[in-house]
Amino acid sequence: MRLSEFFLPTLKENPKEAQIASHLYMLRAGMIRQSSAGIYSWLPLGFKVLKKIEQIVREEMDRAGCQELLMPTIQPAEIWQESGRYDDYGKEMLRITDRHDREMLFGPTNEEMITEIVRSSVRSYKDLPINLYHQQWKFRDEVRPRFGIMRGREFLMKDAYSFDLDQTGAKLSYNKMFVAYLRTFARMGLKAIPMQADSGAIGGDMSHEFLVLADTGESEVFCHKGILEFDVPADDVDYSSDLQPIVDKWTSLYAATDEKADEAQHAELGDSLVTARGIEVGHIFYFGDKYSKAMGATVAGPDGKDVLIEMGSYGIGVSRLVGAIIEASHDDDGIVWPEAVAPFKVGIINLRAGDEACDAACEGAYAKLLEAGVEVLYDDRDERGGAKFANMDLIGLPWQLVVGPRGLKDGKVEVKNRASGEKEELPLDAALAKLTG
RNA sequence: CGGGGAGUGGCGCAGUCUGGUAGCGCACCUGGUUUGGGACCAGGGGGUCGGAGGUUCGAAUCCUCUCUCCCCGACCA
């Protein structure tokens, strides 16, 4: 993509409404534009990142044996009345009436909808287990949206729902999601720690929140420092094998959000205690037959008798992750994208657009990178160097290829690593080899 | 939902107290000089002051109502 043709409305100055880094940089880097409180348009740069995250989530869910589908944003009130949540949900639920005076709502989550789908088509225990997910926009009419997309009213969420014959099966499904979540967040360059969460009426230990550690996180978290060193399961992890040891390991050491903090534990841990700030990006929980019971979702068991389906649900805040990643990875100059989610891998800076040698070198590099399948943004605008550097640092592409008349005289270009700030002068070919490698 | 603050070109703000018909910086357009960390000079375009009503010869400015946005708190993927 040539920057001269790319819709990238960056801002030099700080918009006053932005209070935290991710919000500020997303606005300044032209990733999002606010429409109304807690509702945003995703501009091309931001949308690219959102898609990258969505794809990683998809790959890891599929790897874990889940199947993707897509449920509507607008749901009928009936199924919510059936589960009893139509009244419970209160003002957070955006209610709509259609032209036939039928009560509808913009879905804040999809337990009812998925239960409705499964109960009407799954009749036998032989059809289980099954885990269905989608990545769809949700709406929760928050009283006070804030922090940009981190706590918007409209947000993109991946929600998966598992259906099992019994609790033993549900536990297996739960463990798969636990492992998939570890992998998903790690792939985005994040340190995400599973922490015991409220498991509601069901009880037990089958509910975890995944918190990304970032200095600017919204809540205080505590954990044993050993957790930070744990290995994330590799991509060849066998989801059909017993995953319990992995789950046990990750839950063996103390980790808690401030609501669940245990002062006694803290004292005991001493130097091993890490106090940090975190952002919740995922939540998995088992809720048994809460919805299957209310909505009559049963299957015929091996003995021919109907049994209620055991369910769990597993959420990931996809749009929130964009903000969480920025919170975890930025500096005073702007965003520092982990390569896996970067909107482009390389940014080419032409320091003297219009200069024959610079143009030729840049065009050549641009063509070769594209040919090699590297996502590249070429700043071909007629701007001064300083403006280009500042802009490129702001949007945070992992690599910058700087081409100017000074270096070109010696046949050299500069490759800068955005994260480390490390710069290397080398011949163009060597630079391209490095960036395509 | 309680408490506070703010709405003036795309962005950031001044002007409001003490009414006289809108200004600054950035951005944008034209020309020129520049060009390795957000250049300079000259010229130029764009707002009717969130909205409605009222007071007045005259309202961004005073009064009433209303909408929206932001911040703190309680609440949440």
Q: What is the 3-state secondary structure (H, E, C) of A180-232?
A: HHHHHHHHCCCCEEEEECCCCCCCCCCEEEEEEECCCCCEEEEEEHHHHHCCC
Instruction: Say if domain A3-335 classifies as CATH 3.30.930.10.
Output: yes
pLDDT at A203 over 60: no
Determine the average pLDDT of the residues in A373-392.
Answer: 97
pLDDT at A179 over 90: yes
Closest CA to B73 C1' — which residue?
A144
What is the pLDDT at residue A215? 81
pLDDT at A315 over 60: yes
- Separation of CA A84 and C1' B52 in angstroms? 43
Mean of pLDDT over chain A: 94
pLDDT at A260 over 70: yes
pLDDT at A202 over 80: no
Backbone angles phi, psi at A424, to 5 degrees: -140, 125
pLDDT band at A90 (very low <50, low <70, confident <90, very high): confident
pLDDT band at A204 (very low <50, low <70, confident <90, very high): low
pLDDT at A434 over 70: yes
Residue type, A133: Y
Which of strand B's nucleotides are less than 7 A from any protein C-beta?
1-2, 11-13, 25-27, 34-39, 68-77
A140: the nucleotide nearest its CA (via C1') is B76
What is the pLDDT at residue A200? 54
In this prediction the ipTM stands at: 0.94
Closest CA to B68 C1' — which residue?
A36
Task: Work out the number of other CB atoms within 10 angstroms of the CB of residue A384.
Answer: 10
- Separation of CA A219 and C1' B32 in angstroms? 55
- Separation of CA A162 and C1' B38 in angstroms? 52
| Cβ proximity of A137 and A154 under 8 Å | yes
Tokens representing A368 are 């070769």
Determine the average pLDDT of the residues in A186-198.
Answer: 91
A279: the nucleotide nearest its CA (via C1') is B77
More confident residue, A201 or A368: A368
The rounded distance, in Å, linking the Cα atoms of A92 and A426 is: 57
pLDDT band at A199 (very low <50, low <70, confident <90, very high): low
Q: What is the pLDDT of residues A2-48, one digit of tens each?
A: 999 999 999 998 998 888 999 999 999 999 999 999 999 999 999 99
A145: the nucleotide nearest its CA (via C1') is B76
- Separation of CA A328 and C1' B76 in angstroms? 21
The rounded distance, in Å, linking the Cα atoms of A288 and A165 is: 10
- Separation of CA A46 and C1' B33 in angstroms? 38
CATH 3.40.50.800 range(s) for chain A read 344-436
What is the pLDDT at residue A201? 53
Determine the average pLDDT of the residues in A134-147.
Answer: 94
Tell me A339's DSSP state. Answer: G
Give bridge partners of residue A311 from the DSSP assignment.
A163, A288
Q: What is the pLDDT of residues A93-123, one digit of tens each?
A: 999 999 999 999 999 999 999 999 999 999 9
Exposure letters A221-251 (e unless 16+ CB within 10 A, then b): bbbbeebeeeebbeeebeeeeebeebbeebb
CATH class of the region A344-436: alpha beta
The rounded distance, in Å, linking the Cα atoms of A413 and A362 is: 10
The rounded distance, in Å, linking the Cα atoms of A236 and A65 is: 13
Q: How far is CA A387 from CA A26, A93, A105, A340, in A?
A: 18, 45, 47, 26
CATH 3.30.930.10 range(s) for chain A read 3-335
What is the pLDDT at residue A422? 97
- Separation of CA A13 and C1' B14 in angstroms? 18
φ/ψ region of A391 (left if φ > 0, alpha if ψ in -120 to 50, else beta) reads alpha
